[in-house]
Amino acid sequence: MISSSWGAPAAFTKGFNLQHVSDGLYGQHLHVYSWPNGELKQTLDLGSTGLLPLEIRFLHDPSKDTGFVGCALTSNMVRFFKTPDGSWSHELAISVKPLKVQNWILPEMPGLITDFLISLDDRFLYFSNWLHGDVRQYNIEDPKNPVLKGQVWVGGLIQKGSPVVAEGEDGKTRQYDVPEIQGHRLRGGPQMIQLSLDGKRLYVTNSLFSTWDRQFYPELVEKGSHMLQIDVDTEKGGLAINPNYFVDFASEPDGPSLAHEMRYPGGDCTSDIWI
């Protein structure tokens, strides 16, 4: 079993504070345990490339001793793997560059990778950038060399109409086109994702943690979450927002509600449990 070390509840429950990173209240390690007796066998230091490691996913093929961890603050996807001597090692697999921005709390904005998953056939890896606002698809048939195959913008802090703008290398400012779905402007940023077993439908919600939602996307707390469907090209790769699918949690009986995790009753790509 491998676990990540996101951060201390005393820090993240109060909202994100960059000083807490310097204070050591957020992690940068993976911990390898023998199972089922729970003995700690090894600790991997991800260093400056692996700040705030969150979700961990192994490849589904049980013969492959490798997987990935999404590191939120540095917005890197790190691959971990077993070496010939039986120990574990890691390497940087995918990096999302921070954007230089105007009218935000910091001069640079990380993508903030908050969730990712791997398709059941181990061909594609998907992840969400909660602050930038995009969902990505990578081909990982060669886990050492992921290839970007699809990307869609479904919210974020730098969508058109936002006060925040990104600065390009050419010095020009830009924002991203985010479509309305069934007349609804998309709120917040993409967060939790779930993939159908056939790999053709990717579902996206947008609440991370209510305290962080309130800090970065106050409108999300006021108006509630929504769930979207992204259609997946499982042959050549590619993503497209389904314009006919929009689940609005604004009008829940005790709402507005914040939508987070999703599960298929018969099992899904992240639980590996089928009934």
**Which DSSP string corresponds to 225-241?**
-EEEEEEE-TTT--EEE
Q: What distance lies between CA 61 and its chain's CA centroid?
A: 22
The type of residue at 39 is E
Do you know the residue count of the chain?
275
Identify the bridge partners of residue 138 per DSSP, sorted by sequence position: 125, 148
- Token look-up 């449990």 returns 273
**Strand-pair partners of 58:** 67
pLDDT at 251: 85
State the pTM of this model.
0.95
At residue 208 the predicted structure's pLDDT band, cuts being 50, 70 and 90, is very high
Coil/strand/helix, residue 123: coil
Q: Is 212 helix (H, G, I), strand (E, B) or coil?
A: helix
Q: What is the mean pLDDT of residues 209-225?
A: 95
pLDDT at residue 275 tops 60: no
Identify the band that residue 195 occupies on the pLDDT scale cut at 50, 70 and 90: very high
Q: How many other C-beta atoms lie within 10 A of the C-beta of residue 142?
A: 8
- Region of poorest pLDDT, from 38-42, 90-94, 171-175: 171-175
Task: Determine what percent of the chain falls in helix, strand and coil, rounding each to the nearest 5.
Answer: 10, 40, 50
Which phi and psi angles does 148 have, rounded to 5°? -65, 125
Pair 191, 126: CB distance under 8 Å:
no
Question: What is the reported pLDDT for 171?
Answer: 81
3-state DSSP call for residue 146?
coil
* Rounded-to-integer distance, Cα 200 and Cα 203, Å: 10
